C-alpha cells in the first residue's frame, strides 16, 4: 500500500473529519479520500464502516461536507469513508478542447479502452486498493463490518461492487442510482466509452445482471429513490424487481414522495442508510 498524506483535519461532533491524498498504483494517479473518525475511534476502539460512493459532480469532500452524516456517525460509532469518484486533473480534452463525457464520470468500472484504461480503474481501486488502505493498521476499522452505500453514479455501483465481493462488504444500500444502465441511453453511452462495444463486458457493472447471477450468502438490498426525481424516470423498471426472483437476495425499496436528486434528499434520509448497516452489523456480531 502506498503512503498517504493528510490534507485537512477538522473537529466535528467530538470526532475528526479528515482528508487525505495518496498515489494510487491502480489508477496511476494521485487520489483523495475523506474519512470521519467518531469519538470512540479516537480512543482506539475498532469501528464499523459506512463506505460511501459519491456521484460524479463532487469530489471526495462532497458527501462529508453536505450530507450531515457525521452527527449520526458519532452517535452510532461509525467511521465514514468517502473516496474520490474519479481521478481528477488528468482528463483528456476533445478536439474542441472540452471535457468529453468519459472524463466526467468514471462509473466505478475498470476501463478497457484507451485513453481511459490507464487511469480509470475505479472498480479495482475501490475493491482492492482503497479497501486495503481502509483496513490497514492506520485506521481502527472492523474489517468484517463494512457496508457499502452510494448516490447517483455511486448508487449504481454500490450494488454490483458489494454483491461481487460479499466477503468484503456485509451490507449494501443505494440512493437514486441507475439500476438498468445497459438499457438506458446514458448508461450505454458511458459503458461504450470505457468498455467498448462488447455488451457482455458491461453486465458485471449492471445491477440487474449482477443480481440475477448472484450466488453468495443471503443479503437484503436497500434501494431508496426520490419520488420527484426526474433522473429516476428511466432508471428502473419491472426488470429490477424481477431480477431478485430465485436468488438469495431480497429487496427493500422506498420511494420518497416529493424528493428530488440533490443533497436535500440525501440529508433527509442518509441516517436511514447508516442505521440499515448498523442493524445488519449488530445481528452479525
Q: Catalytic: 229?
A: yes
**Segment 241-253, tens digit of pLDDT:** 999 999 999 999 9
**181, containing H or E segment:** none
Q: What is the per-residue pLDDT for 93? A: 64
Q: What is the rounded distance in angstroms from the CA atom of residue 134 to the CA atom of residue 43?
A: 18
Q: Which domain holds residue 18?
A: 4-284
Give ∠ CA 30-175-260 in degrees, rounded to 5: 110
Residue 89 DSSP SS3: coil
Q: Decide if pLDDT at 104 tops 90.
A: no
User: Which candidate in 119, 151, 261, 273 is catalytic?
Assistant: 261
From the candidates 152, 158, 174, 176, which is the catalytic residue?
A: 152
**84-103 burial, b if ≥16 CB within 10 A, otherwise e?**
bbbbeeebeeeeeeeebebb
The whole-number pLDDT of residue 1 equals 43
Counted domains in the chain: 1
What are the tens digits of pLDDT across the range 163-200? Answer: 999 999 999 999 999 999 999 999 999 999 999 999 99
- Answer whether residue 92 shows pLDDT above 70: no
For residue 2, is pLDDT > 70? no
Let me know if 261 is a catalytic residue: yes
Q: Based on the residue annotation, tell me whether 152 is a catalytic residue of this protein.
A: yes
Q: Average of pLDDT values for 88-114?
A: 78
CATH code (residue 157): 3.40.50.1820
CA–CA separation, 254 and 269 (whole Å): 11
Mean pLDDT of 53-57: 89
pTM here is 0.96
For residues 73-85, average pLDDT: 98
d(CA 155, CA 173): 8
Cβ(7)–Cβ(19) under 8 Å?
yes
**What does the block give as the cell for 182?**
445497459
Amino acid at each position: 500500500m502506498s503512503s498517504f498524506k493528510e490534507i485537512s483535519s477538522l473537529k466535528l461532533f467530538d470526532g475528526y473529519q479528515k482528508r487525505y491524498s495518496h498515489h494510487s498504483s491502480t489508477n496511476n494517479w494521485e487520489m483523495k479520500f475523506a474519512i470521519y473518525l467518531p469519538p470512540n475511534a479516537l480512543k482506539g476502539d475498532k469501528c464499523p464502516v459506512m463506505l460511501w460512493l459519491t456521484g460524479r459532480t463532487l469530489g471526495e469532500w462532497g458527501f462529508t461536507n453536505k450530507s450531515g452524516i457525521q452527527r449520526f456517525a458519532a452517535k452510532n460509532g461509525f467511521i465514514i469513508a468517502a473516496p474520490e469518484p474519479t481521478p481528477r486533473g488528468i482528463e483528456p480534452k476533445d478536439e474542441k478542447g472540452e471535457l468529453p463525457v468519459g472524463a466526467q464520470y468514471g462509473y466505478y468500472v475498470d476501463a478497457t479502452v484507451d485513453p481511459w484504461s490507464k487511469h480509470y480503474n475505479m472498480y479495482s481501486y475501490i475493491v482492492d486498493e482503497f479497501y486495503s488502505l481502509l483496513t490497514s493498521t492506520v485506521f481502527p476499522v472492523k474489517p468484517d463490518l463494512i457496508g457499502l452505500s452510494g448516490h447517483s453514479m455511486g448508487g449504481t455501483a454500490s450494488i454490483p461492487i458489494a454483491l461481487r465481493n460479499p466477503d468484503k462488504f456485509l451490507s449494501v444500500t443505494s440512493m437514486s442510482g441507475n439500476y438498468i444502465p445497459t438499457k438506458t441511453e446514458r448508461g450505454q453511452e458511458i459503458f461504450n466509452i470505457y468498455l467498448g462495444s462488447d455488451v457482455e463486458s458491461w453486465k458485471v457493472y449492471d445491477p440487474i445482471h449482477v443480481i440475477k447471477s448472484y450466488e453468495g450468502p443471503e443479503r437484503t438490498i436497500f434501494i431508496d429513490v426520490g419520488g420527484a426525481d426526474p433522473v429516476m424516470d428511466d432508471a428502473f423498471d419491472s426488470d429490477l424487481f424481477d431480477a431478485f426472483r430465485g436468488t438469495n437476495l431480497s429487496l427493500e425499496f422506498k420511494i420518497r414522495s416529493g424528493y428530488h436528486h440533490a443533497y436535500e434528499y440525501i440529508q433527509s434520509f442518509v441516517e436511514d442508510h447508516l442505521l440499515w448497516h448498523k442493524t445488519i452489523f449488530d445481528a452479525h456480531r
